[in-house]
Amino acid sequence: MSKFDEKAGELLKNAALAAGAFEMFDQEKTDRIVEEVYKAGFDARISLAHMACEETGLGVFEHKVIKNVLATQVVYEDIKNEKTAGIISEDEHSGITEIAQPLGPVLAVIPVTNPTSTVMFKILISLKTRNPIIISPSPRAAKCCSEAARICYEAALRADAPEYCVQWIEEPAIDLTQALMAHRGIAMILATGGPGLVKAAYSSGTPALGVGPGNVPVFIDESADIPYAVRTIILSKTFDNGTICASEQAIVVEQKIADRVRSEFKKQKCYFLNPDETAKVEKVAVDPKTGLMSPSVVGQPVEVIASLAGISVPPETKIIIAEQEGVGAAYPLSGEVLAPILAFYVREDLKSAIKTCIELNYLGGLGHTASIYANNDERVNEFAAIMSAGRIVVNTPSAQGAVGGIFNDLHPSFTLGCGTWGKNITTENITAHHLLNIKRICRRRDNLKWSAFPTEKYFDESLSADDLLMEFHKNY
């Protein structure tokens, strides 16, 4: 047995003790723990944001504070009244009673892009459902994740939570994470991270809730309020320097409004690269060997990206924009880049514009999110019907809109399901109700429609399926 298997076994032994104790907790005691943890996480929102920025070198401090608020206060408000212990529903008519039961130990894999916020979010939804949790952070965010977990754990213990209800790995290793994923004691994996990690979670043999990449296309329709659309896109794409996977990746417009959209982006301090500059940015933004975004630009401000690329951009530039002709490997910036970089497409008509959005979606964002700016409901519905995305955000900053809880009533979440399109199990924003086993007491209720039908007719070979159906409906 390797040292990683031994460590995994130790963590799971402790988690099993916590799981057994949690089984005995009622709703009131559970909710008291969750409230205490939320308050502690919220109170640490600023110090944890500082730690995350200093350790990872990614993003914007003020925006990480907001992420921590979303992961604590907004998530708490969303789940606090949800029934997650004991009887959660009773239907006298159907005779069905639903009883919530915890899953068991949860393994939470944490990305470098949203470290402390994702830790607190996953701890809250796990404790709300009486599931002990083990935090496995990115090695690049181990310290801030450990601190976030410690703060939550100590708060939980103050509210009489079971010992070991929250555990964390202070020195992350891929081998240890893989050993935990495959351990029979893990009930569920909450996997937030790159495609390789999520694939490993789903391949482990343990039930998993994961996400896929974003690569969010944004269609600006001719009916849109263009200054508003541009302002909102900038608000979203610059949030934490674009580290949210639901942030916009490419703008698609029809030829008839292209000049107006370009002009508005320039007016609002965005910079359009020339072909030579685009080539230089491509080299630093995308790894030519893998075709994936380069870690060196993820979460970095425009000035850092420009310096890496050896180009000059005007002072106070918010986003750099690269005009693109096509989608795919020959156009590196057509893929997902979690930084203030946007691709820009101009298409002859509506049909070709929508086709480009679909191509972007299929390139690396299936099931995730698509965005549209339009003041024409028919156009919105047409776009939504054809896009393979779990979230279609309308006239809304995509990063904050897809995460939920701010600009809409989606469940606030740091794990956004992408459905079977993205090889995930659900398209929903993952939250507490996904971490429950629901038992159903089914009391006898005779089906009167079935009872009234003379079932011997099923043995009458002269009656066709249509004849039997007509006979069946005659009885009610």
Q: Annotated catalytic sites, by residue?
A: 245
- Cβ 114 vs Cβ 243: under 8 Å: yes
* Residues 235/54, Cβ–Cβ less than 8 Å: no
Residue in 206, 208, 207 with CA at minimum distance from that of residue 191: 208
Q: What span, in angstroms and rounded, lies between the C-alpha atoms of 225 and 222?
A: 8
Which residues are registered as beta bridge partners of 328?
331
Strand partners, 97: 90, 441
Alpha carbons 279 and 291: distance in angstroms, whole number: 14
- 215 Cβ contact list (under 8 Å, min separation 6): 249, 250, 335, 336, 360, 361, 363, 364, 365, 368
Give residue for tokens 């002709």: 325
Burial of 438 (0-12, 13-18, 19+ CB in 10 A): exposed
| Six token digits for residue 459 | 């043995």
The span from the CA of 156 to the CA of 132, in Å, is 11
Q: In sequence order, which residues have a C-beta less than 8 Å from that of residue 384 and are 6 or more positions away?
A: 370, 372, 392
CB 58 within 8 A of CB 16: no
Cα gap 446→341, rounded to integer Å: 62
Backbone angles phi, psi at 4, to 5 degrees: -70, -40
Helix axes 115-128, 27-43, angle to 10 degrees: 170
CB-CB contact of 251 with 233 (8 Å)? yes
Q: What is the DSSP letter of 272?
A: E
**What is the C-alpha separation between 290 and 175, in angstroms, rounded?**
22
Query: For residues 429 and 402, what is the distance between their CA atoms, to the nearest angstrom?
Result: 8
| Burial label, 34 (beta-carbon count in 10 A; 0-12, 13-18, 19+) | buried
